[in-house]
Amino acid sequence: MPSVQDDQQLICQKATLRTSAVENPAEISAAACKGDLEEVKKQVQRLLHDPRPPEPQPPQPKWLAQSLLIAMQKPNIEMVQFLLDENVADPHSVAEAAVRGRGWEVLELFLQYGWDINRPQGRNEPPLLSIPLCTADREMVEWLLNHGADPNARCAWDFTPMSLAMYLAPLDLIDYVFSRGGDAHYGQLLHCAVLREKPDALDVVRRVIQRGAPINEVKYEKEPMVYWEREPFGLGTALHRAAEFGNKNIVKYLLEQGADPLKLDSKGKTPRFWAEKCNDADVASILKEAEDNQSSARLRL
């Protein structure tokens, strides 16, 4: 397996080989690879500040983004700070690299420069706390939480860091983040948990329901704009998705906890429809029995 030092050397080699000034000035990248801050300052002064003849596209600070990444990886905090002062990049645009690289000092510096630790990564991507949750990096999870990360911070599609944790995070880390404020009422957690492809999936579903996740809520029914956007793809309850993916034990548990087998999704289908569509006779049979029992109970009322 390549070492961190090997990775650094590879990045430096690639950066030094670049010849296009627009992509990444080679002299500055080479100096960054060597950790030569004075040379970096000299070359930045020459490129960005010294008088130059008129040209169609004057040099831009963003051309030096690769040099910033090199400085972050080493890490060379003085160089990172200098390049941030030169507006080479918004800390938000490179914070993911620091989180994945476990760059504690770099992240501390980013906070000083106004990095919003709870800013979503995109319309359908939650904040960066989701990354160490999914890679089981507990130390980074603790660091982010201790520095203000909110496990319930949402993106436009109502995904939170806990949403992605439902798919991939180890059970003990899920429990830990619940103990640090994770809330089952945000982030469509139950809808995510029923799709977990791990042996402990049912344990995660139990935890989410025990913490109050609404069991019969159609996905995004309380988020009108997202519902409108995603409705054509089919939006149902957690039971719909568990039935579709053949999660027999989860289907049984959801029914035991009061899941409605007759509730229709946005396409007008019951959970049993999806089990039958996927040729899962066992799950379809369980749901048919639940439908019959519920229909009989309603007739007795």
- What confidence tens digit (pLDDT) does each residue in 81-92 have? 999 999 999 999
CATH class entry, domain 230-301? mainly alpha
| H-type alpha helices, the chain | 4-17, 26-34, 37-44, 65-73, 77-85, 91-100, 104-112, 130-134, 138-146, 161-168, 171-179, 189-193, 201-210, 224-230, 238-244, 248-256, 271-277, 281-300
Q: How far apart are CA 288 and CA 297, in angstroms?
A: 14
Q: What is the pLDDT of residue 263?
A: 97
Neighbours of 254 (CB within 10 A): 26
Q: How far apart are CA 161 and CA 143, in angstroms?
A: 14
Closest CA to 198 of 154, 239, 247: 247
Cβ pair 221, 197 in contact under 8 A: no
The pair of structure tokens assigned to 162 is 């806990």
The pair of structure tokens assigned to 208 is 């989410």
Predicted confidence band of residue 301 (pLDDT cuts 50, 70, 90): low
Domain spans of the chain, in order of start: 1-44+60-116, 126-213, 230-301
| H-type alpha helices, 3-59 | 4-17, 26-34, 37-44
Predicted confidence band of residue 57 (pLDDT cuts 50, 70, 90): confident
Tens of pLDDT, residue by residue over 204-256, are 999 999 999 999 999 999 999 999 999 998 999 999 999 999 999 999 999 99
DSSP-derived secondary structure for 207-244: HHHHTT--TTPPTTTT-HHHHHHHGGG----HHHHHHH
Q: How far apart are CA 232 and CA 172, in angstroms?
A: 36
The reply to whether 230-301 shares the fold of 126-213 is yes
Phi and psi angles of residue 122, each rounded to the nearest 5 degrees, phi first: -175, 180
Cα dihedral value 212, 215, 221, 226, nearest 10: 80
Answer whether residue 9 shows pLDDT above 60. Answer: no
Answer whether residue 182 shows pLDDT above 90. Answer: yes
Q: What is the pLDDT of residue 11?
A: 41
Closest CA to 206 of 195, 194, 216: 194
17-21, 206-210, 297-301, range with the lowest pLDDT: 17-21
Closest CA to 31 of 76, 61, 62: 76
Q: What is the pTM of this model?
A: 0.86
CATH of 126-213, one of 1.25.40.20, 1.10.760.10, 1.10.10.10, 3.90.550.10: 1.25.40.20
